[in-house]
Amino acid sequence: MTKDNYNEKHSYKQKPEIMNESIIYGKNAVIEALEANLRDFNKVLISDNSRLDIKIERIKELAKSHGIVYQFVNKEKLNQITQNANHQGVVAQLSPVKYTDLNDFIEAHSDKYTSVVILDGVEDSHNLGAIIRSSVCAGVDGIIIPSRRGALINPIVEKTSAGAINHISVIKVNSIVNAVQRLKEKNYWVIAADHHAKDNYYGIDYTDMNFALIMGAEHSGISKSLLKLADFVIKIPMLTNFNSLNVSNATAIILFESVRQTLSVSKKEG
Q: How far is Cα 253 from Cα 39, in angstroms, rounded to an integer?
A: 34
Write out the residue limits of the CATH 3.30.1330.30 domain(s) in the chain: 12-94
Q: What is the dotted CATH code of the domain comprising 12-94?
A: 3.30.1330.30
pLDDT, residue 177, reads 96
Write down the H helix ranges in 186-232: 224-229
Half-sphere exposure of 85 (CA within 13 A, CB side): 15
Question: For 246, which DSSP code?
Answer: P
Q: How far is Cα 170 from Cα 201, in angstroms, rounded to an integer?
A: 24
- Neighbour order of strands in the sheet with 17-20: 17-20, 23-25, 90-94, 41-47, 69-73
pLDDT, residue 51, reads 67
Non-local CB neighbours of 219 within 8 Å, separated by 6+ positions: none
Does the pLDDT value for residue 146 go beyond 90?
yes
Give the global pTM. Answer: 0.80
Q: How far is Cα 134 from Cα 253, in angstroms, rounded to an integer?
A: 9
Q: How far is Cα 206 from Cα 190, in angstroms, rounded to an integer?
A: 11
Does the pLDDT value for residue 9 go beyond 70?
no
Handedness of CA 52, 57, 59, 61 (dihedral sign): positive
For 207, phi then psi, to 5°, come to: -85, -15
Nearest by Cα to 80 from 70, 67, 93: 93
Write out the residue limits of the CATH 3.40.1280.10 domain(s) in the chain: 102-269
Does the pLDDT value for residue 5 go beyond 80?
no
pLDDT confidence of 11, banded at 50, 70, 90? Answer: very low
- Neighbour order of strands in the sheet with 232-235: 169-173, 142-146, 115-120, 210-216, 188-193, 232-235, 199-200
Determine the length of the chain. Answer: 270
Mean pLDDT calculated for residue range 57-64:
92
What is the average pLDDT value for the chain, to the nearest integer?
87
In CATH terms, 102-269 corresponds, of 3.40.630.10, 3.40.1280.10, 3.60.15.10, 3.40.50.10490, to: 3.40.1280.10
pLDDT, residue 250, reads 95
Does the pLDDT value for residue 3 go beyond 50?
no
pLDDT confidence of 38, banded at 50, 70, 90? Answer: confident
The per-residue pLDDT for range 252-269, each reduced to its tens digit, is 999 999 999 999 887 677
E strands along the chain, which residues? Answer: 17-20, 23-25, 41-47, 69-73, 90-94, 115-120, 142-146, 169-173, 188-193, 199-200, 210-216, 232-235
* Contact by Cβ (8 Å): 259, 201: no
196 compared with 231, residue with greater pLDDT:
231
The per-residue pLDDT for range 68-112, each reduced to its tens digit, is 889 899 988 898 888 888 888 899 998 888 899 999 999 999 999
Does the pLDDT value for residue 8 go beyond 60?
no
